[in-house]
């Protein structure tokens, strides 16, 4: 079964991923990702009913840290790495919408 | 089920985010404190620096379990997911939260009115940083730019999601108030809405009376008091009814409550698409509390507000069997909300009059709950006893209580200091006789049964004693002389 | 001053600890060779001469004070440039992180310093470790020291090339789908991916969190074991870090392989280059001669690993790479609002392969595709681990090729992502299962390029894996491993 990743889907996914793509990139990703998806599509045909999904190699449980304060990083050292900072804070252009 | 507009029913579900009072953040060892200098409680983990990894705070898990058990939930094995969306207050551009396997599920809250509201889940997640909008009007829309402080990023939250079973603005307020009391009782939260320790979002929908399917809901955000929660729900319900009655359609969206205009508005930017692409957080492992841990946490929980209201009601019924319980239910709710029930129940147990103890608790003490909680039961009992026996008046008693809340000592000392013991029974008799002698006509009308002059005569005695006389004793003195 | 660039890490540490060589001499020797040949090979994004000399001096001072300088005393090492180093630029070979100075060291970096190692630079990689050739580095590809017209493999190509060139006897890489073993095979070095959770990932810039592991490059199996000993062990800062794991790998090498059961994975022999198939069979024969029992085993489930990997890894990567948004560090390309700034920054800062994988991962996680793709891939992962574990009921270790072919020419696969992805066919299953595996140079194949043989072991089976790897090494063809003669190698 051929999987087709349409240019519209590429654009929608790019919006979700906050990537600005040129028209050429949209076109080439549509072709390349369709080929990759076509290859990986084979796993959909595997009958894995009853096989649990693994998100970790090992079943570790209850890995905790004690609730004790430890020194963090120096604010100036971190802000010095920021593209823009002001008044001890990270500066960003205007935000159009509220957090979802 | 109340109808907010005739013919329409309201359905509300509340999502409450509760900051946990841990010493450190959820996934790193930075201090969890409110009001620090910007970006001073930060480290590679809570800044989402490349290469950093989260490690879960055990105390946060225990607080979450306390909350779940206090809300009658099942504590279950749980995992974290990543909720992916871009926002500058979120250092990793995903929030580590619990999704379809939350730590607490299927609980309930019983409101003081007896109504029960189901709790769908109470899960752990991390808070975001704080954005300040600069320039323009200082609000998000008209700002020139924004500044971000990540001190709050990664602070542990428990999000408590109710079932859509709330049917009036009053019940929404009662639910939030009850939830806050429970959260404070567990020790997991300070309950301070004004500092953002508790934040509430409301999912509001309306439907025509008689229909069963829920209407399309809107999520209302930015209510920061019980009062604004009630107002916002009322406004939003009315807006939806008006829209539907005009033949329109409710669009599912997030709306922002504006306190000053008293209205909600849509703030979503049109081109933005949201698809959170939840998937299990690979950097964290399963939380699977043993049954012994769960039972140990359950066993250590103090009595919850509902239990305490029942206890106080029982104490009242025993102390004042003649009183109708409905007449003092509101006072009981207030006293328990402010955690003054220990004082009041203690006083009743030590022989204080229940009605008086409850009234002082729900009024004077409630005005200054922090100080009131520090009072000793013995001192409170002593004060109430002095008032009951008539040694001091109600007015004097309230004044003494105020001094006690100021930390000025035992009731007996305060009474001495204020001179309330100056007018003893003998001295009062002399003054009463003098007032009668000076006002013969009024006295005659009083003796003939004209109760209206009683107030005048009492006032005269009070003037003579500079307000120090006990009104009850004065009335008794007049009564004795009237019947002579 | 003696040239120490042909010495193993084991030999250098012994000489430095014994006072026969100073750490400064060793560091200077390495830095000199790098200065001569780095221009031809581009192994490093940055060479940290000052850091190296200071660390070397610290080792020499410890020795002068009579303190233990550590098991890697004075051994020069290259660090893949996705390992955070405090105050030293850490870029992941991406423009989006260019110039970023981390405020902290990765746990492995801290442990290496404690062990006395001397870090000479940050080695080149495919951007964010996504690739198999280092051609995806934003700062230019590294060259294979055996033949500079060929790729060194990737993503840890800079580390592999640095060891193959003799710049350093050991290096660290990271392996998400073969990124240590594949370049090791291409460059004729040893490269090993540990059991997931044996080495802390704290400070390793994430590509796919559930698959990433840091591991050693070296010229000999013994050096790889020595380096692993220095960096392994529990770390409180990594929730997936295992406790109570083996800590000794060099000592058990002496036990040999008599009685060990080796299974040759036949599924990996059907599509590989014939010379590589011959190499695997010859290695199996050598193991049998050394006392192991050798048999064949079919594990067809492993062949589904590649497809699962190209769902899981991009999915996790798409989320891990969201944070490069122009707000807190790294590149920013301004825009009228924050969302446009994010999108412009990411468009300018990420290269084509990274964008491709972010797109793929975002797509497979989005509503409607999660169950069909991502969840199914996670079930394949279980299937792969179960299949391996069934094989390990009969065998102590498994044997196979590391790669389907030897190092290819620059540009051969860069425009065909799928062809590039297929070069990880034999390495990916170990990452999915979380199992250890090692590539050992065994012979020379097509065009005289080195061929690696891969030894697989079950979770925490590193000791048996190293013992068998050592036996493979003992039978290797002369001249199939680095360091190569640079004057000859570079001009070929
Ligand atoms: Mg939430
Ligand atoms: Zn932190």
Q: Give how many domains chain A has, as a whole number.
A: 1
Q: Greatest CA separation found in chain B?
A: 95
Q: Is residue B1 part of a domain?
A: no
Q: For residue B392, what pLDDT is reported?
A: 83
Mean per-residue pLDDT, A63-76 = 97
User: pLDDT tens, B123-150?
Assistant: 999 999 999 999 887 777 788 999 999 9
Q: Is residue B56 located within the same domain as residue B194?
A: yes
Question: What does the DSSP 8-state code read for residue C148?
Answer: T
Same domain, B22 and B133: yes
Q: Which residues of C touch B48 (CB under 8 A)?
A: 323, 328
Gap between the Cα atoms of B23 and B30, Å rounded: 8
Say if residue B447 is in the same domain as residue B411: no
- Judge: A40–C307 Cβ closer than 8 Å, yes or no: yes
CA distances from A82 to B47, C108, C115, C324, C345 (A): 12, 26, 33, 12, 14
Among A4-13, C43-52, C227-236, C472-481, which is the least confidently predicted range?
A: A4-13
Q: For residue B429, what pLDDT is reported?
A: 84
C229, part of any domain: yes
pLDDT digits (tens, 9 = 90+) for B272-315: 567 999 999 999 999 999 999 999 999 999 999 999 999 999 99
Shortest Cα distance, chain A CAs vs residue C342, angstroms: 6
Chain segment B195-219, per-residue pLDDT in tens: 899 999 999 999 999 998 999 999 9
Structural domain ending residue among the three candidates B418, B440, B456: B418
Answer whether residue A94 is part of any domain.
Answer: no
Q: Stretch C440-450: mean pLDDT, rounded?
A: 97
Counting the structural domains of chain B, the total is: 3
What's the pLDDT band for C454 if we cut at 50, 70, 90? very high
Does the distance separating the beta carbons of C328 and B91 come in below 8 Å? yes
**Alpha helix segments (H runs only) across chain A:** 7-16, 23-40, 75-79
- Domain-embedded: residue C339: no
CA distance B280 to C308: 16
Task: Check residues B212 and C398 and name the one with the higher pLDDT.
Answer: C398
C405 domain-assigned: no
The count of structural domains within chain C is 1
Same domain for B225 and B270, yes or no, is yes
**How would you label A8-31 residue by residue, b for 16+ Cβ within 10 Å and e otherwise?**
ebbebbbbbbbbbbeeebbebbbe
Is the model's pLDDT at C492 over the cut of 50? no
Query: B313 with B339, same domain?
Result: yes
B384 and B440 belong to one structural domain: no
Residue C488 has pLDDT above 60, yes or no: no
Q: Each residue of C176-217: pLDDT tens digit?
A: 999 999 999 999 999 999 999 999 999 999 999 999 999 999
Residues C255-267: tens digit of each pLDDT: 999 999 999 999 9
Q: Which pLDDT tens digit goes with each residue over B373-383? A: 999 999 999 99
C327: nearest CA partner in chain B: B88
Same domain, B352 and B451: no
Q: Which ligand is closest in space to the CA of residue B122?
A: 1
Per-residue CA distances from B358 to B241, B324, B333, B362, C106 (Å): 42, 14, 11, 6, 61
Whether residues B152 and B266 share a domain: the answer is yes
For residue B317, being part of any structural domain is answered with yes
Residue C488 lies in a domain: no
**Residue A66 pLDDT > 90, yes or no?**
yes
> Is residue A12 domain-resident?
yes
Closest listed residue to residue B345, CA positions, set B382, B370, B371, B309: B309
User: For residue A37, what is the domain's CATH number?
Assistant: 1.10.20.60
Nearest-neighbour CA in chain A from B144: distance (Å): 6
B213 shares its domain with B90? yes
C320, closest residue in chain B (CA to CA): B92
| Residues C80, C183: Cα–Cα separation, whole Å | 13
B143 reaches C (C-beta below 8 A): no
In which band, very low, low, confident or very high, does the pLDDT at B153 lie, cut at 50, 70 and 90?
very high
Section A27-31 average pLDDT:
93
Query: Residue C162: is its pLDDT beyond 90?
Result: yes
pLDDT of B415 over the 70 cut: yes
Residue range(s) defining the domain that contains residue B217: 8-300
Q: Are residues B107 and B32 in the same domain?
A: yes
* Neighbouring residues of C363: CB distance < 8 A, sequence distance ≥ 6: A5, A9, A13, A33, A37, C369
Burial of B260 (0-12, 13-18, 19+ CB in 10 A): exposed
In Å, how far is C323's CA from the nearest CA of chain B? 4
- B4: buried, middle or exposed (CB in 10 Å: 19+, 13-18, 0-12)? middle
For residue B2, name the pLDDT band (cuts at 50, 70, 90).
low
- Name chain A contacts of B268, Cβ cutoff 8 Å: 97-98
Minimal CA–CA distance to B234: which of B135, B167, B160? Answer: B167
Minimum distance, in Å, between the CA of residue C360 and any CA atom of chain B = 13
User: Between chains, do C328 and B93 touch, taking CB under 8 Å as contact?
Assistant: no
Q: Is the ipTM of this complex over 0.90?
A: yes
Residue B140's pLDDT is 74
In whole angstroms, give the CA distance from residue C256 to residue C260: 9
pLDDT score of B396: 85
How many residue contacts between A and C have a Cβ separation below 8 Å? 176
Q: Give domain status of residue A38, yes or no.
A: yes
Determine the average pLDDT of the residues in C373-382. 94
In a domain, C163, yes or no: yes
Q: Across the interface, do C328 and A81 touch by the CB < 8 Å criterion?
A: yes
Structural domain including A29 reads: 7-44
pLDDT score for B1? 46
**Where residue C220 sits, what CATH number does that domain have?**
3.90.1300.10
Gap between the terminal Cα atoms of chain C: 29
The domain in which residue C461 lies consists of 9-254+436-475
Which of B282, B287, B288 to mutate against chain C (most C CBs within 10 Å)? B282
Write down the pLDDT at residue A100.
Answer: 76
Cα C54 to Cα C45: distance, rounded to the nearest angstrom: 20
Q: C76 forms bridges with which residues in the sheet?
A: C118
Per-residue pLDDT at B269 = 55
Would you state the pLDDT for residue C420?
Answer: 86
* Tokens at C438, concatenated: 């090692």
pLDDT tops 70 at residue B423: no
Q: Rounded mean pLDDT of C423-440?
A: 97
Nearest by CB to B55, from C209, C236, C329: name it: C236
SS (H, E, C) C15-35: HHHCCCCCHHHHHHHHHHHHH
Nearest one of C135, C180, C168 to C408, comparing CA atoms? C135
C-alpha dihedral (C192, C352, C308, C129), degrees to nearest 10:
20
Residue B203 belongs to a domain: yes
Question: What's residue C491's pLDDT?
Answer: 37
Residue C173 covered by a domain: yes
Q: If you average pLDDT over residues B109-136, what whole number do you get?
A: 95
Q: Considering the domain boundaries, does residue C284 fall inside one?
A: no
The predicted pLDDT at position B97 comes to 98
Assigned token pair, C281: 């069979």
Cα–Cα distance for residue pair C124/C38, rounded to 1 Å: 12
Q: For chain C, give the percent of residues with pLDDT over 70.
A: 99
- Residue B379 inside a domain? The answer is yes
Residues on A contacting B at a C-beta cutoff of 8 Å? 12, 15-16, 18, 55-56, 59-70, 72-73, 75, 78-79, 86-100
Say how far apart CA B353 and CA C31 lie, in whole Å: 90
Q: Is there a domain that residue A57 lies in? A: no
Shared domain for B474 and B401, answered yes or no, is no
The answer to whether residue C188 is domain-embedded is: yes
Burial of B249 (0-12, 13-18, 19+ CB in 10 A): exposed
Q: Which of the pair, C157 or B338, is modelled with greater confidence?
A: C157
pLDDT tier at B422 (50, 70, 90 boundaries)?
A: low
User: Is position B149 within any domain?
Assistant: yes
pLDDT tens digits along C86-139: 999 999 999 999 999 999 999 999 999 999 999 999 999 999 999 999 999 999
């Amino acid at each position: 079964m051929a999987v087709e990743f349409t240019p519209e889907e590429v654009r929608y996914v790019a919006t979700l991923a906050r990537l600005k793509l040129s028209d050429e990139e949209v076109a080439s990703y549509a072709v390349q990702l369709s080929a990759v998806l076509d290859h990986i599509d084979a796993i959909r045909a595997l009958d894995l009913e009853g096989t649990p999904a693994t998100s970790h190699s090992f079943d570790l449980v209850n890995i905790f840290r004690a609730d004790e304060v430890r020194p963090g990083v120096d604010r100036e050292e971190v802000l010095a790495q920021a593209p823009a900072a002001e008044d001890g804070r990270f500066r960003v252009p205007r935000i159009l919408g509220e957090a979802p | 089920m109340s109808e907010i507009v005739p013919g329409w029913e309201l359905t509300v579900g509340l999502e409450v985010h509760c900051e946990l009072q841990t010493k450190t953040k959820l996934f790193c060892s930075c201090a969890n404190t409110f009001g620090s200098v910007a970006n001073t409680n930060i480290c590679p983990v809570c800044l989402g620096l490349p290469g950093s990894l989260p490690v879960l705070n055990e105390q946060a898990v225990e607080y979450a379990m306390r909350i779940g058990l206090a809300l009658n939930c099942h504590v279950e094995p749980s995992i974290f997911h990543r909720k992916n969306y871009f926002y500058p207050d979120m250092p990793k551009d995903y929030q580590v939260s619990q999704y379809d396997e939350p730590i607490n599920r299927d609980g309930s809250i019983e409101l003081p009115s007896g109504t029960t509201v189901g709790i769908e889940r109470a899960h752990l997640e991390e808070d975001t940083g704080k954005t300040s909008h600069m320039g323009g009007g200082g609000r998000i829309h008209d700002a020139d730019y924004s500044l971000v402080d990540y001190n709050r990023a990664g602070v542990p939250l428990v999000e408590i999601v109710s079932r859509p079973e709330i049917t009036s603005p009053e019940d929404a307020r009662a639910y939030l108030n009850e939830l806050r009391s429970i959260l404070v009782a567990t020790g997991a939260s300070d309950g301070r809405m004004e500092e953002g320790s508790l934040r509430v979002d409301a999912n509001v929908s309306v439907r025509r009376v008689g229909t069963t399917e829920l209407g399309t809901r809107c999520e209302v955000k930015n209510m920061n008091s019980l009062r604004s929660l009630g107002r916002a729900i009322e406004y939003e319900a009315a807006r939806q009814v008006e829209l539907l009655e005009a033949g329109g359609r409710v669009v599912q969206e997030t709306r922002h409550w504006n306190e000053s205009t008293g209205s909600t508005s849509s703030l979503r930017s049109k081109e933005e698409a949201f698809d959170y692409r939840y998937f299990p957080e690979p950097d964290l492992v399963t939380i699977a509390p043993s049954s012994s841990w769960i039972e140990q946490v359950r066993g250590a929980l103090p009595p919850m507000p509902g239990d305490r209201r029942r206890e106080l009601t029982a104490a009242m019924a025993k102390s004042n069997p003649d009183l109708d319980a409905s007449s003092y239910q509101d006072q009981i709710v207030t006293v328990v909300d402010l955690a003054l029930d220990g004082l009041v129940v203690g006083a009743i147990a030590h022989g204080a009059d229940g009605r008086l103890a409850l009234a002082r608790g729900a009024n004077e003490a409630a005005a200054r709950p922090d100080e009131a909680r520090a009072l000793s039961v013995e001192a409170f009992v002593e004060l109430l006893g002095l008032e009951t026996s008539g040694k001091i008046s109600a007015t004097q008693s309230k004044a003494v209580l105020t001094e006690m809340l100021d930390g000025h000592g035992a009731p007996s000392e305060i009474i001495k200091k204020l001179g309330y013991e100056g007018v003893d029974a003998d001295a009062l008799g002399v003054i009463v006789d003098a007032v009668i002698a000076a006002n013969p006509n009024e006295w005659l009308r009083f003796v003939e049964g004209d109760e209206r002059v009683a107030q005048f005569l009492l006032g005269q005695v009070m003037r003579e004693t500079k307000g120090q006389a006990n009104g009850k004793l004065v009335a008794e003195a007049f009564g004795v002389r009237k019947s002579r | 001053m003696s040239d120490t660039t042909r010495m193993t890490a084991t030999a250098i540490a012994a000489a430095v600890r014994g006072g026969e060589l100073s750490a400064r001499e060793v560091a200077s020797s390495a830095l000199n060779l790098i200065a001569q040949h780095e221009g031809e090979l581009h192994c490093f994004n940055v060479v940290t001469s000052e850091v190296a000399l200071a660390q070397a001096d610290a080792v020499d001072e410890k020795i002068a004070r009579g303190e233990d300088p550590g098991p890697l005393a004075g051994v020069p090492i290259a660090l893949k440039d996705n390992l955070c180093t405090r105050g030293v630029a850490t870029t992941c070979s991406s423009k989006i992180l260019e110039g970023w100075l981390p405020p902290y060291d990765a746990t492995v970096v801290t442990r290496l310093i404690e062990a006395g190692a001397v870090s000479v630079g940050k080695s080149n990689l495919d951007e964010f470790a996504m690739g198999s050739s280092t051609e995806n580095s934003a700062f230019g590809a590294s060259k294979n020291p055996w033949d500079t017209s060929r790729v060194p493999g990737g993503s840890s190509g800079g580390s592999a090339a640095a060891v193959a060139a003799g710049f350093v006897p050991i290096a660290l890489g990271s392996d998400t789908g073969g990124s240590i073993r594949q370049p090791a095979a291409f460059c004729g070095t040893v490269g090993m991916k540990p059991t997931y959770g044996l080495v802390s990932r704290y400070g390793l810039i994430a590509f796919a969190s559930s698959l990433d592991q840091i591991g050693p490059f070296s010229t000999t199996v013994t050096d790889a074991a020595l380096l692993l000993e220095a960096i392994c062990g529990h770390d409180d800062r990594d929730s997936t870090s295992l406790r109570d794991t083996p800590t000794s790998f060099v000592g058990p090498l002496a036990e040999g392989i008599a009685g060990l059961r080796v299974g040759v994975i036949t599924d990996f022999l059907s599509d590989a280059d014939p010379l590589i198939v011959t190499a695997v069979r010859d290695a199996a024969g050598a193991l049998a001669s050394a006392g192991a029992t050798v048999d064949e085993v079919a594990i067809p489930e492993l062949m589904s690993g590649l497809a699962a990997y190209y769902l899981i890894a991009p999915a996790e990567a798409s989320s891990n790479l969201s944070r490069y948004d122009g707000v807190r560090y790294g590149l920013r390309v301004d825009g009228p609002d924050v969302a446009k700034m994010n999108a412009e920054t990411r468009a300018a800062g990420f290269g084509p392969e990274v964008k491709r994988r972010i797109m793929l991962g975002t797509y497979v996680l989005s509503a409607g595709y999660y169950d069909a793709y991502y969840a199914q891939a996670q079930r394949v992962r279980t299937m792969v681990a179960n299949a391996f574990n069934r094989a390990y009921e009969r065998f102590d270790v498994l044997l196979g090729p590391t790669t389907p072919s030897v190092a290819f020419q620059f540009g051969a696969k860069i425009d065909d992502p799928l062809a590039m992805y297929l070069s990880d066919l034999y390495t990916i299953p170990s990452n999915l299962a979380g199992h250890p595996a090692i590539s050992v140079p065994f012979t020379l194949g097509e065009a005289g390029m080195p061929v690696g043989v891969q030894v697989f072991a079950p979770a925490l089976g590193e000791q048996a894996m190293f013992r068998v790897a050592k036996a493979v090494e003992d039978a290797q063809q002369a001249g199939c491993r680095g360091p190569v003669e640079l004057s000859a190698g570079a001009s070929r």
